[in-house]
Structure 1
Amino acid sequence: MTQIKEAPSRSTAGRRPVGKVRPSDTRRHHRALILQQLVDGGARSRADLARETALTRVTISDLVAELIAEGFLDELGTRPGTHMGKPATLVGISPTAPVTIALDLSADGQLAGGVVDLVGRILVREQVAFRRGDDFSVISDLASRLRDATPRRILGVGIGTPGIVDASGTVVLAPNLGWEDFDLAGELAAAIDLPVHAGNDANVAAVAESAFGSGDDGGLLLVTIGQGVGGGVLIDGRALAGPLQSSGEIGHVVVDPEGRQCNCGNRGCLETFLAAPALRLLETDAARADVGSKLGSVLTPVVTTLGIADVVLYGPAELLEGALLDSVRNALARQTLPFVAQRVQVRLAPLSDELVLTGAAALVRYRELGVV
């Protein structure tokens, strides 16, 4: 008798459980489809929405009415230039729709916060001094002031923070802030009585550059340069995290084993050369070019392995443009395939783009509404 060999067992720890789709899940998904179309493309008629989402007109009519009642949408009048038949009534995102509170912990020596609308506009902005070792009340106080600064309904609070952040909003490790296994989202939710979602600053900034900026979400690598250095990677529209939630932690790649001590405990991490405080100590173009070459050497295997075409440096332009940026480009050109080097763009995103703030708001928008 032929023996049938059992297939080797494989770990399923990283897979999502399969369960029955509930009616409430379907309704949430359909609402998200409608909001996504209106956020991305502007005002639409109900017939437009039915055609673009493949939902029935009855479903569209029902959900649009619900979203209007909840303050997300408004009727905006008829489409201009319509002459034949009954003119279509357009619906769009309400100018008084719910907003988010966004916090940015990535900057050198400061905490920034804002009230952000559904399409990424910052309506209110504040900042306060914040350094390693400062009391958590600095964060909760700023969030409370921002909550009180808007009369509109608040969907929740989004936070972009340096370090490794798990899906629940716990900061597993953030050497520059001195945090380890700190339940940032839970602590702030208890203090402010709103839903709170936290993510790695570079990851949320990469999402913002794709959602609100000019980033190529097919393959984008965004490097945040502030009090520390981080990297966010988008591939085919999705942010990479990995099972360790540490995807993009390029700041703690060792580039000089004999270099300065890093907050993480290693010596000579990229961050000890590239973080904003370190760059401010450099007085010559040659010194900045050397740092750019180190950064380029760290980025090259990431760009080559993942096939990334868009590399964005997000930080103080006065420290990054010129010798450092040129050196990054040259290092990539020398160390990767000519085919890749000819197609990769390396560019700066100015701090005025507020990518961590708007990315933190986008995180809330996705978690609460399903809109990317």
Structure 2
Amino acid sequence: MTEPGEQDEVVVARKPNDADARGILSLTPDELKALRRSRKHSGGEAIHVTRQHNLSVIRRLLYANGPQTRPELARLSGLSLPTVGGLVSELVGAGTVHDLGVVAEARVGKPASRVAIDAEGNCTIVLDLTHDDTFTGAIIDLDGTVVDRAQLSIGGAHGEPALDYAVDLARLLIKRASSQVIGIGVASPGLVDDTGLVHVADRLRWRDVPLADTIQTRTGLPTVVGNDVNLLALGLSRFRNRSGRDAIVVDMANGVGAAVLEGGEPVLGEQFAAGEIAHLTVDPGGELCPCGRRGCLDMVVGAPHLQRRVAAVGAEVLEPAGRTLGEVLAPIVIMLNINVVVVVGPGGLVEGAFADGVVDGIHSRLRPAIIEGLKIEVGANDPDLVLLGAAAAVMESQLGVR
């Protein structure tokens, strides 16, 4: 295994995809209307559901509070001591929790033993599929520590070959893991539903790709898939800023994408398209966008286009671009009563004049009373946030940990 922080590049030779490259994939209005978030109903598995819920309660208590005795867990959870004892035994048997042994206490009675989440003995495999020529992945333990990393050059592949590359990277990391892998988390571009089905991902030319099911079938490990910006926001909420506050998070690195966090959880939207602001028209007479319309927000603010304009015209375009983004975000802030706005992108682009423009744009549209309680952060992107968000999604799905 490589030392933490090292990166290996594994190049897998494949015939380039020969699918046509006629343009950007997009959903028709009818296709978009057909998408609906699933509604979860209580069924006939009440006993199973209750037990899974109780297991999640114990895991969350241990994750949040550190090592606890069984009586302490019973008191914190409100469950009976025999019930807690059975749940802890099940978690110890699964390798999720380990017994720390007897802890001497200054009281009369039988000494109690403490149990704890085995953060180092369990890990997640996470993949970031958002870059044009490279898929990145990591092994992350339950404390959010990146234990190992890997990169795989995909040479601009798309379609089925890109899917094969994702599986290859997952398998590579599984082989390198030295602890129990509880699941795989994948950050995908595009429109991703709550089953891990990628309905459309323009960059990879994916349409209705069952990404979670495919990786789970080929690796044998539980797999969760989410939109990359939603997972970036989740990583920020769970591992960088644990406040759990409502927030808007905007990522400019690969074009403009946004996520809305409510209580620290991403809002998906009815058709899983919450935060898809890239093709909001902000300049009707502006540049032609690949989507066929003019003046889309992505053409004004997306890092690739903004860097091109800076190279051609100069840095004077940065402040107006930031102001445009701020003016777009202001109505969302007031509509949802958001108190935190985070904008991330390439450091040399978003810091300085652009950041000033974002703040000015938001302030110009809001009342002073709203501005006083608003926290706005604009800065360089941490590439680990997407990976950490994918790890958080696995921990939630497999351990019930939030």
Taking structure 2 as the reference length, what is the TM-score of the superposition?
Answer: 0.82
Q: Secondary structure at the match of 2:254?
A: coil
- 8 Å CA contact retained: 1:104, 1:159: yes
User: Shift of the alpha carbon at 1:15?
Assistant: 4.3
Q: Secondary structure at the match of 1:40?
A: helix
The match for 1:7 is none
Q: How does 1:1-372 map to 2 (within 5 A)?
A: 15-77=39-101, 82-85=105-108, 86-107=110-131, 109-130=133-154, 133-134=157-158, 135-136=161-162, 137-214=164-241, 216-281=243-308, 282-283=310-311, 284-348=314-378, 350-352=380-382, 354-372=384-402
User: Shift of the alpha carbon at 1:261?
Assistant: 3.6
Distance 2:232 2:59 in 1: 22
Distance 1:128 1:41 in 2: 38
Mean CA deviation greater in 67-76 or 348-357? 348-357
- C-alpha change, 1:228 and 1:193, in structure 2 (3 Å) is farther
**Which ranges of structure 1 fall in alignment gaps of 5 or more residues?**
1-11
User: Shift of the alpha carbon at 1:95?
Assistant: 4.3
User: Shift of the alpha carbon at 1:182?
Assistant: 2.3
1:6-28 superposed Cα distances (whole Å, 9 cap, x missing partner): xxxxxx99643343452111111
- 8 Å CA contact retained: 1:221, 1:232: yes
- C-alpha change, 1:139 and 1:14, in structure 2 (3 Å) is closer
User: Shift of the alpha carbon at 1:189?
Assistant: 2.7
Distance 1:151 1:162 in 2: 29
1:45-101 superposed Cα distances (whole Å, 9 cap, x missing partner): 222211111111111111111111111111224558x43335542211114433221
The match for 2:28 is none
Distance 2:37 2:300 in 1: 37
Residues matched between the structures, number: 360
- C-alpha change, 1:92 and 1:215, in structure 2 (3 Å) is closer
Distance 1:110 1:349 in 2: 24
Mean CA deviation greater in 291-300 or 249-258? 249-258
1:168-194 superposed Cα distances (whole Å, 9 cap, x missing partner): 212112223332322222332333332
Q: CA RMSD in A?
A: 2.4
1:108-134 superposed Cα distances (whole Å, 9 cap, x missing partner): 643221112223222111223457544
1:148-206 superposed Cα distances (whole Å, 9 cap, x missing partner): 11132322211112211111212112223332322222332333332221111111222
- 8 Å CA contact retained: 1:162, 1:230: no
Give, as a single letter, the amino acid of the residue that structure 2 aligns with 1:295. L
Give, as a single letter, the amino acid of the residue that structure 2 aligns with 1:33. V
Taking structure 1 as the reference length, what is the TM-score of the superposition?
Answer: 0.88
**Which ranges of structure 2 fall in alignment gaps of 5 or more residues?**
1-35
- C-alpha change, 1:84 and 1:193, in structure 2 (3 Å) is closer
Q: Secondary structure at the match of 2:278?
A: helix
Distance 1:267 1:184 in 2: 32
Give, as a single letter, the amino acid of the residue that structure 1 aligns with 2:400. G
Q: Secondary structure at the match of 1:99?
A: strand
1:298-340 superposed Cα distances (whole Å, 9 cap, x missing partner): 1111111001111112332222111111111111111112222
1:204-240 superposed Cα distances (whole Å, 9 cap, x missing partner): 2222222222154331111122222211111134321
User: Shift of the alpha carbon at 1:369?
Assistant: 2.7
- C-alpha change, 1:303 and 1:35, in structure 2 (3 Å) is same
- 8 Å CA contact retained: 2:350, 2:380: no
